[in-house]
Chain A
Amino acid sequence: MSQAVLDQLKGRFGEAVLETHNRFGNETALVKKESLLAVLKFLKEECGFEMLMDLCGVDHLPETPRFEVVYHLKSFSRGYRVRIKVRIAEEDPVVDSAVSVWKGANWYERECREFYGIKFKGHPDLRPLLLYPEFEGYPLRKDYPHKKRQPRLPLLKPETR
């Protein structure tokens, strides 16, 4: 259904679009990390993708590059949906922030940062969102053991509570 978007994307960005597929009716494009922001801006401004539905990270541990950030976009004017993926190496887990394109990316990126340790360049405020500040490690990485315990925090003194 949204194949036209993928064709448009390939025509515009050529080499930067590494891979596309539309299995299960989900049109997907894997793009290069360097051109991610340009692709997202192009999709919003010229293809009418008004909404960032979801943003999440995926850890493909033995594979390289290890991480993947997945964007699900939705266009109301055309009724399209598209999924944009970008691969990120473990050594340099930094990707451009999409906050300037969609405001809603803010919290999704904060969540992705605390669970996967992927940093978003240009994000205004990367504090942890769901976890507490003293949490050690990145829990959704595949090398974080499922049963791992966190160190116990000392109780706050009443006056600093």
Chain B
Amino acid sequence: MIKLSDDTKDLHTRYMTMMMGPSHPATHGTLMMNLVLDGETIIEVDIDPGYLHRGFEKECEAHRWNQNVAYTDRLNYVSAIINNVCYSMAVEKLLGIDQKIPERAQWLRLIFSEISRITDHATCLAAMTMEVGGFTGFLYLVKLREYFYEILENLCGARVTYSWTRVGGARWDAPEGFEDQTREAIKNSRKVLKDVRGLFDKNRIFLERTVKIGVISRENALAYGITGPFLRSTGFNYDARKAHPYLYYQDLDFEIPLGVNGDSYDRYYVRVLEMEQSMRIIEQALGKIPKGPVMIDDPCLKLPEKQEVYNSIEGVINHLKLIFEDIYVPAGEVYSYVEAPNGELGFYLVSKGGNQPWKCRVHPPCFPIVAALPEILKGYMLADIIPIFGSVNMIGGEMDR
């Protein structure tokens, strides 16, 4: 692997191979990069992912439809509810009940998706700004994330893995005082976001580390299949929420922020603006959310009330059937997708008519981005890997499954 480079010059360097990772402090997410360096310039990168592979798809094939909701939490663990929502929507399409989900459940799904988007972007930006030396940014953004984690904690008791949706709706209704708490959280996080933008938007150190660094062209991004903020930072307007509205996104007024250069700074900036748009969406949605049930009224899908289970034979049988056998999904195949914080998250489900999926393929949004990394990194300096990789927002759970 080691070969002499241009040695006709007096001062010449030798190519050096170096391994970065798998547990390098700056590659949050275990991933190994085999670098070939000329001095500090990157000549070649070979990426070796897979350190967090847990056999997600095999496990899904061995478990029942509703049990898999808990597995989807572990895909993108900083925005777990979007995975829950996407998976449930896919199974509901297969069942043919996607139009019958109660309105309140759909609005709540939308609101919590947007909350998850904010927590995901906050985590990504926190890590990115910390890695280029701005530790204050990390503290501020984690504080912002905390406001929303508290809402999610009130919803279901967990802070990271919520397993909140079920096929046919959701497990829990939003807790009392949820709307006020969310409005308060948005008010507080606007303040924090203003501080963060004050720190970084025009910060010379930050600009020099990120502007025109890690540039990807629009054509290349499309050829690699990249979606999400990464694609939008190149100025390409594609967001599944606008292009193929699902839930109630068509009734809401929001904008899609676009970048210009497709560099690390644009990716930072698109994420910051997207967080503001998400807050706008949540505020509008809070005013529109109706009262009502959050689970479809179908005994084949919905667990009966405890009162019924204890006091009627039908209730007991219904409960046992659902717990021991779970739901049955007719044969078919479906590809369902939502706009996750990193890009388009899709589930391709194949059912053969049983209570287990035959195939549960997840299309992880950061997979094509990491696949494109060798081409993006080429020609930059060793130290540039860190802000570029920070702006990728690779999530190990989703990348390696």
Chain A residues within 8 Å of B, Cβ to Cβ: 23-24, 26, 28, 50-54, 56, 58-60, 70, 72, 76, 79, 81, 83, 102-104, 106-108, 115, 128-132, 139-140, 144, 146
Contacts and interface: CB of A to CB of B under 8 A. Distances in A.
Contact of B58 (A23, A104, A108, A146): A146
A24 B349 CA distance: 12
Q: How large is the interface on B (under 10, 10 to 19, 20 to 34, 35 or more residues)?
A: 35 or more
A146 B94 contact: no
A72 B368 CA distance: 14
B341 interface: no
A130 B401 contact: yes
B346 A53 contact: yes
Given A24-B93, A26-B333, A146-B58, A56 B223 contact: no
14 contacts: A23-B333, A53-B225, A54-B225, A56-B359, A56-B361, A58-B350, A58-B358, A72-B363, A79-B244, A103-B220, A104-B224, A128-B50, A139-B55, A140-B57
A53 B363 contact: yes
A53 B236 CA distance: 16
**Smallest CB-CB A-B distances: 10 pairs:** A130-B50, A104-B225, A107-B371, A54-B363, A104-B224, A56-B361, A146-B62, A103-B223, A130-B53, A24-B334
A56 B348 contact: yes
B335 A26 contact: yes
B224 A103 contact: yes
A26 B334 contact: yes
B313 interface: no
A104 B236 CA distance: 17
Contacts of A50: 222-223
B225 A52 contact: yes
Contacts of A129: 49-50
A131 B361 contact: no
Contact of A131 (B50, B225, B226): B50
A5 B94 CA distance: 23
A54 B243 contact: no
A98 B72 CA distance: 29
Interface in B346-372: 346, 348, 350, 358-359, 361, 363, 367-368, 370-372
B274 interface: no
Contacts of A60: 358
Contacts of A79: 243-244
B371 A106 contact: yes
A58 B359 contact: yes
Given A104-B368, A107-B371, A139-B58, A70 B348 contact: yes
A58 to B, nearest CB: 5
B384 interface: no
B335 to A, nearest CB: 5
A51 B363 contact: no
Interface in B47-78: 49-50, 53, 55, 57-59, 61-62
Given A58-B359, A72-B363, A102 B348 contact: no
B50 A54 contact: no
B263 interface: no
Contact of B348 (A54, A59, A103, A115): A54
A130 B225 CA distance: 19
Contacts of B367: 107-108
B58 A54 contact: no
Most B-side CB within 10 Å, residue of A58, A70, A130, A132: A130
Contacts of A115: 57
A83 B332 contact: no
A91 to B, nearest CB: 22
B218 to A, nearest CB: 10
A141 B53 CA distance: 17
A102 B226 CA distance: 12
Contacts of B38: none
A103 B369 CA distance: 12
Contacts of A130: 49-50, 53, 400-401
B328 interface: no
B398 interface: no
B120 interface: no
A107 B62 CA distance: 25
A31 to B, nearest CB: 16
A70 B350 CA distance: 11
B225 A51 contact: yes
Interface in B84-130: 93-94
